[in-house]
Structure 1
Amino acid sequence: MEHVEAVVIGGGQSGLTAAHALAQKGLKPVVLEASDQAAGSWPHYYDSLTLFSPARFSALPGMPFGGNPDRYPHRDEVVTYLTAYADRLQADLRTGRRVTAIRADGGGFTVEVEGEGRLSARVVVAASGSFGRPHRPDLPGLKTFAGQVLHAADYRGPAPFAGQRVVVVGAGNSAVQIAAELALESRTSLATRAPVKFARQHLLGKDLHFWLTRSGLDTAPLGRLLKTPPAPPVLDDGRYRAALTTDTPDHRPMFTRLTDDRVTWADGTTERLDALILATGYRPHLPYLAGLDGALNPAGHPRHRGGASSAHPGLEFVGL
């Protein structure tokens, strides 16, 4: 048993920031990252992904993003930035360490690591995010649909779908982005249960994040409400609204059923479908807390108040 002051589970942007904050308070955190690099889920996102916030608003504490502060960094730039941040971090960062379970242990916790033994700590920060648990809604006929089905987590680019009939499900940023680029290579529809809501990315020549910061609306508690509305709007510089207006992709109400290799639309029409892409979000990925009594609710979501566990003092959540 190795005894440490604090354990952070997950070496993505939330975990690295948590480790930085702990170090600033004089603690010596150990960061356990399951993959071989500290970049979180970013290396696995689709090829064309860019941030929705400018570089100046995307930096982690203690290290500017670098380059033009008003640009929107690409996925690969974020990976490079995060790995550089991890190299400078005043913490014991251990990659290839997958946490399998956490047990309560006399006012602290025992952290079990696959193939590596155990650590004990009085503080544990769960920062494993949600990418490992993509949400796949139980759509009518989905289980027996004969076409290709994948989640946005598995999507990389439009080339494999060239010339195919594709439907993207979802009304968020990723759904609209993916559908718009697919529509350039294939016959694509965006299917949603409600209208797509757009928010202007620029106001009076400045990015939306500038105005949220300048006005103070980006701070708690009002900021938390603005960041987690029931249906977050799609941040748009005009291109995605224009794409839907010109039917590239076309936007339709949610289909009613999938049957064999066909889709049935709300108006009763049916057609053959090659592929279905679910841009339907994620859920907290916390399997190592399943055996910690009261830490999670029946749906696997953490029981917490402001990031602090409601059941176990010293257990914290970030990146939710």
Structure 2
Amino acid sequence: MNQYDVIIIGGGQAGLSLGYYLKKTALSFIILDKGSEVGEVWRKRYDSLTLFTPNFYSALPGSKFNETKNLYPTKDEVADYLQAYVEENELPIQHQTDVQELHQVTDGFRIVTNRGDFHTKKVVVATGPFQKPLIPGFSQSLSSNVLQLHSSEYKNPTQLQKGSVLVIGGGNSGAQIAVELSRERHVYLSVGHKLKFIPLDVGGKSIFWYIDKLGLYSAGKDSFIGSKIRKLKDPILGSELKPLLDNKTIKLKPRTISIQDDTFQFQDNTELQVSNVIWSTGFRADYQWIHISNLFDQAGFPIHERGVTPVTGFYFIGLPWLHSRSSALLGGVGKDAEYLVNQIMKPVAKE
């Protein structure tokens, strides 16, 4: 059995940031990742995806983001950066390793994978929040004549069949996809809340510069500012969508509530028929492989205090609002990683 002091499950930016700080310790560790290469999750996203954070706010600890053609890096530039980060810091990562079960044992944890069992004294789950596509159950009622894709499956417009498209979901991915598709076909955007827009740049500076200077970027989740921000819906970043909604190039629809054959029904009792639908409805976490009690609340969310759980030696990293708004972002996860490594270094109390 492979034995380590620490095992990190997940080789995205959170797991790599943690690895950076663990390299500074004497602890033995490995990063297990089910992908075939570093940055694979980024490469699989839709072709036109770009970050909303500029490159100078997108770096992991101890490294600058590579110079990019554009101020806002593409998804492939992010993947290239992560690959270079692993090589530069000589991080031990094992790919094509699917963690199937995680158990607590007398002296730590046993991790069952498709490539054998691992044992560790301490374990960090860095798989992030985007694990399983979240699609309403009524999607199963949709006629087979309508092509439907989740945003995680969408790559570019050539995947779609001819005709109009309905994008369901009012987040930034849905906004970007709707804008792209509107260049060549009729597009409808269904959202369940009023959209708010924030420009990417103000006065020649990135909006994230202002967010950082105002303390919004690093405000703790339980602080006054943090608690206020958490109650708000995420805004649409950038200026592309709003004028297209204003001039009806993209037609706005309220929340989608049901489907009958090939007809979508909305909250305002209107109906619509389209040839394609993109479910930009987010993701849900999947922790069924973790067979340890006292880790999750009744809703299935991890119980933790800045990533430290009630189970000795068990940690989470890379979750939205793990500590602050920036916890799940490239440029912010490093602070959580440094904090967790300090916690990991504390000796396990003997009972």
3-state SS of 2:208 partner: helix
- For structure 2, the residue ranges without an aligned partner over 5 or more in a row are 320-351
Partner Cα distance (2:228, 2:44) in 1: 27
Partner Cα distance (1:225, 1:90) in 2: 38
Q: 1:86 to 1:224 in 2, by over 3 A?
A: farther
Q: 1:213 to 1:92 in 2, by over 3 A?
A: same
Indicate the RMSD between aligned Cα atoms, in angstroms.
2.1
**CA positional deviation for 1:152:** 0.6
Counterpart of 1:314 in structure 2 is: 313
Partner Cα distance (2:111, 2:229) in 1: 32
Counterpart of 1:120 in structure 2 is: 119
Partner Cα distance (1:64, 1:85) in 2: 9
Partner Cα distance (2:282, 2:237) in 1: 16
Counterpart of 1:255 in structure 2 is: 256
% identical aligned pairs: 29
Counterpart of 1:241 in structure 2 is: 242
**CA positional deviation for 1:162:** 5.9
| Counterpart residue identity of residue 309, structure 1 | T
Aligned length: 314
Task: State the TM-score, normalized to the length of structure 1.
Answer: 0.91
**CA positional deviation for 1:271:** 3.6
- For structure 1, the residue ranges without an aligned partner over 5 or more in a row are none
CA offset digits 1:115-174 (Å, max 9, x no partner): x22221111110112333111133xx4221112222111111122336412111111111
1:15-54 correspondence runs (5 A): 15-39=15-39, 41-54=41-54
The reply on whether 1:210 has 2:209 as its aligned counterpart is yes
**CA positional deviation for 1:112:** 1.3
Q: 1:266 to 1:92 in 2, by over 3 A?
A: closer
1:186-205 correspondence runs (5 A): 186-205=185-204
| Counterpart residue identity of residue 126, structure 2 | A
Contact preservation (8 Å) 2:179, 2:240: no
| Counterpart residue identity of residue 65, structure 2 | F
Q: 1:123 to 1:98 in 2, by over 3 A?
A: same
Q: 1:239 to 1:271 in 2, by over 3 A?
A: closer
Counterpart of 1:288 in structure 2 is: 289
The reply on whether 1:142 has 2:143 as its aligned counterpart is no
1:29-178 correspondence runs (5 A): 29-39=29-39, 41-67=41-67, 71-114=71-114, 116-138=115-137, 141-146=138-143, 147-161=146-160, 163-178=162-177
Partner Cα distance (1:134, 1:29) in 2: 30
Q: 1:194 to 1:241 in 2, by over 3 A?
A: same
Task: State the TM-score, normalized to the length of structure 2.
Answer: 0.83
Partner Cα distance (2:241, 2:111) in 1: 45
